[in-house]
Structure 1
Amino acid sequence: MRNVHQLALLALSSYAVAAPLVSAPWKVGKRQVESQMNDIDILRYALTLEHLEDKFYREGLANFTQGDFAQAGFDSTFYQNVQAISAHETAHVQFLTAALKAAGYAPTVECTYAFGISTVEQFVATASILEGVGQAAYLGAAPQVSSKTILGAAGSILTIEARHDAYLRAALSQSPFPQANDDALTPDEVHTMAHGFIVSCPAGNPSFGVKAFPGLAVTTTGKITSGMTIALSTAGFALAPADSKAHLYAAFITALGPDFAPLTPSGDGENFQVTVPIGVNGQSYLLLTNCNDTVSDSSVVAGPTFLEITNNPLNTTLSGKKA
C-alpha cells in the first residue's frame, strides 16, 4: 500500500499544531503552559474538537460505501469498526453537550467544515491523524483542569481516542504504539492544526480564546526517519533577507519537552531544511521557534505541523531518545 499519510497531508499541509510546554530538567528544552482557560472553557474546547471529528466521520461514511472501502483494500470488519468509531464521536458530542448544559452553560454547536477528502485512503489516513491530534489535545489540557470530575470524564474519552488511533494506525501498516510516551498539544497548537478545516461557525458559539499560528508544512514526500534531512515551507511567515542570520530553530514536540534542531534557510525566507533528531518516532509535531531553550506562544513563529516518522519502536526509550 502506498504511503497514505502523504495523502492525508494534502488536506493538512497548510495547517499546524504545537504542545503544552512541560518543564523537564533532564532535557534542554522546556514547554510552558500559557493558557488561561478555565474548566468550562476546556469543556467547550473539547466539544469543538469532538464536533469536528463527529462531522468528519459522518461525512466520510456518507460519501464512501462499504464497497468503496473494499476497493481500497479495507475489509468489512474494518468498515464496521469505522462505523463504531463514528458512533463514539457522536456519543462524545452528546456527553460533553449534556455536561455543559447540566452545569448551566451554553455548549458550542457544530460548525461548517471543508475536509478536502476525495478517496477512502485519504479519509482513513486523515482519520488517523485527527485521532492522534485529539488524544494530544486531551492530554495537553489535562494539567489545566481543576475539577477531578471533569478530569475523570475527559480521561474516559482520551483512552477511547487512543484506541481509535492505535486501530487506525495498525490498519495503515503503522506501529499502533510507536513511542513509550504520547505527545501533548496546547489549545493554540491544536487550533492551528484544526482551523483550516473550519469554514464558518455560528455567531452565537461561545468563545474560549484560542489563536492560530502561521502555517507550516513538511514538503518532503515519502518515508521520513530519524536522522533524515527534510524540507519545510511556511505560510503567513517569511524570514526577511535582512534577517537571514536570525536564529530560528525547529522544535520537535516530545512528551518530556521539545527536541530542538537548527534550521537551514533555502534563500526565499519561506523554505527551510532540518534534520530530524534521533529518537523522535511515530505521529509527531514540529514547529518553528526563535528560541532553543523554551517553547511558548511568544516564541513560536510558525506551525506546528504533522509528520509521520517511521522508525523501529523498539529503538526508543521512555524519554523518546534512541536506546
Structure 2
Amino acid sequence: MPRDKLNSKKVPPFHERKEHLEYGYTVNSFCCSVLITHTRTTTPIAYTFRALLPHFASNPSTHLHQILHLKHSQFNMISSIFLPLAFAVCQVSSSPIHQRRALSQNDIIGLQLAGYLENLELSLYTGGCEGFTDVEWIAAGFPSTFQQDICAIAEQQNQTSFIASSLESNGISAPQACSYNLSYDSPTSFVLLANQITSISLGFYLGSLNDFSPALQTVAASILSVEARHDAIVRYGMGASPFPTNLDVPLSSVWAYSLAQKYISSCPRQLPIDLLPPLGFNGISGSTPTEAGQALYLAIVHANATDPSYQQVLTTGQGQGTAQLPEGLGGVVYAALTASSGDLTFHELTTTGTLAGPAQLVLS
C-alpha cells in the first residue's frame, strides 16, 4: 500500500480500542495488555517493554499515554513495515523493595556475618580512598586511576543497607561497625591488607551460598560476583594476577568469622558464631586445646584440590611446631591445625574438625 494511503487510513485512537484491551486484578498487582495489529500481518513479531504505573482504578490506557507522553493519534500505524506491538504494563506493589521475608536460622547467621564483613570492608576501603592522594598512589607505582578504583569500591559497599533492612524487617538488629585494627601506612601496605580482607569476604560468600534459603541465594551470588571484581582490581593494582587460580577457596562461617578477628579491636556485640584459637606461622598465640601425646596435622585448603591436604606437624615446643607445605600452591591458601590425618572432608574440617586457625597465606 502506498505511504499516503497508509497514512490516510483512519485508525481508531488507542484508548478507543476496547476490543484489544484486557485488564484485571491479581493478588498484588494490576496488569493490562494491549495488542495493536496491522492488516498486512503474516508472522507476528512481538516487541515488548514495561512501564511502571501508579495504582489506578480507571481505564489504564489513559495512564499509558501519560507515561509514554504520546497523544492518541501517535499510536496510528504509519510505517509500511508491520511491527505488531505488545505492551505489557504492570503496576508493582508500592511497598518497599526490601519486603519482609521469613528468615531461617541460617539466613540470620549468614546475613549477620555478611554485615559484619561488609562493615569491615567499608572501613578499609573508605580509609584507603581518603588516606592517600593520587600523587602518592602514582609514586608508589600504581596505575593513575587506581585511587578512583579504590574509592569506587568504597562506594559500592552499599550491601550493608540491604543486609540491615533484611534483618531489621524481621526484628533482628543489624551488626554495628566495630573498632578496627587496620595497619597500613602506605598505598602498598594498604593494597596487601585489602587483598587479605577481600579474600575473606569472597570466600565466605562462596562457602555459605548453599546455606542461604533460595530467596536469598541470588542476592548472595550477586554480592559474590561484585566481591570477585573488587578482588581482581586490587590484585591487578598490586601487580599480581587478577585470577591466580582456576578456583577460589570457599570458607565456612566459623572460619570467616575467626579470620576476621585479626582485624577487630572491639565490637559492640559479637555474633553467635564459634571462635577458634588463632593460628600463626611464627607460633601460636595463646594455648591450643590438645591432649598430651596427641598427633597434630596441618590441614591445607587450597584451590587445587577438592578436599584439604594434610601435613604432619612436628612439635618443637609448647604451642609451636613445623610443617611442610605442599608444592604448587598459589593464590590465597588457608591452613588449620587439626587432629585428623586426612579423613575429614572440607565441610567437616571447617565446622567441627579445626583445633586452631585458620591462618591465611597469600602466596601469589
TM-score normalised per structure 2: 0.65
Supply the AA of the counterpart residue of 2:362: E
| Alignment partner of 1:277 out of 318, 326, 331 | 326
**Number of aligned positions between the proteins:** 254
Is there any run of 5+ residues in structure 1 with no aligned partner, and where?
A: 1-35, 220-232, 311-323
Q: Deviations over 1:82-123 (max 9, x none)?
A: 11111111x111222233234443322212212122222111
| Alignment partner of 1:51 out of 113, 119, 123 | 119
- Identify the residue that residue 222 of structure 1 maps to in structure 2: none
- Identify the residue that residue 210 of structure 1 maps to in structure 2: 273
SS of 2:284 mapped into structure 1: strand
Q: Does 1:309 align with 2:363?
A: yes
Q: CA deviation at 1:72?
A: 1.4
| Alignment partner of 1:246 out of 269, 283, 294 | 294
Q: CA deviation at 1:167?
A: 1.8
- Identify the residue that residue 151 of structure 1 maps to in structure 2: 217
- Identify the residue that residue 163 of structure 1 maps to in structure 2: 229
Judge conservation of contact 1:170–1:176 (CA < 8 Å) in 2: yes
- Equivalents in 2 of 1:37, 1:196: separation in Å? 26
- Identify the residue that residue 107 of structure 1 maps to in structure 2: 174
Q: CA deviation at 1:49?
A: 0.6
- Equivalents in 2 of 1:76, 1:48: separation in Å? 32
Supply the AA of the counterpart residue of 1:299: G
Judge conservation of contact 1:37–1:208 (CA < 8 Å) in 2: no
- Identify the residue that residue 257 of structure 1 maps to in structure 2: 307
- Equivalents in 2 of 1:145, 1:41: separation in Å? 9
Judge conservation of contact 2:335–2:360 (CA < 8 Å) in 1: yes
SS of 1:235 mapped into structure 2: coil
Supply the AA of the counterpart residue of 2:324: T
Moved over 6 A (4+): none
Supply the AA of the counterpart residue of 1:106: S
Bigger CA drift: 135-144 or 91-100? 91-100
Q: Does 1:136 align with 2:185?
A: no
Judge conservation of contact 2:196–2:362 (CA < 8 Å) in 1: no
TM-score normalised per structure 1: 0.72
- Equivalents in 2 of 1:239, 1:140: separation in Å? 26
Q: CA RMSD in A?
A: 2.2
Sequence identity (%)? 30
- Equivalents in 2 of 1:246, 1:56: separation in Å? 40
Judge conservation of contact 2:180–2:263 (CA < 8 Å) in 1: yes
Distance 1:41-1:77 versus aligned 2 partners, 3 A rule:
same
How do 1:1-323 residues align onto structure 2 when only pairs under 5 Å count?
A: 37-89=105-157, 91-146=158-213, 148-202=214-268, 205=269, 208-219=271-282, 233-238=283-288, 243=292, 245-254=293-302, 256-265=306-315, 267-292=316-341, 293-294=343-344, 295-310=349-364
Supply the AA of the counterpart residue of 1:115: L
- Equivalents in 2 of 1:115, 1:250: separation in Å? 27
Supply the AA of the counterpart residue of 1:80: Q
- Equivalents in 2 of 1:50, 1:296: separation in Å? 22
Q: CA deviation at 1:297?
A: 4.3
SS of 1:181 mapped into structure 2: coil
- Equivalents in 1 of 2:236, 2:127: separation in Å? 23
Judge conservation of contact 1:251–1:259 (CA < 8 Å) in 2: yes
Distance 1:167-1:296 versus aligned 2 partners, 3 A rule:
closer
SS of 2:317 mapped into structure 1: coil
Judge conservation of contact 1:261–1:275 (CA < 8 Å) in 2: yes
Higher relative contact order (CA 8 A, sep 6+): 1
Supply the AA of the counterpart residue of 2:256: V
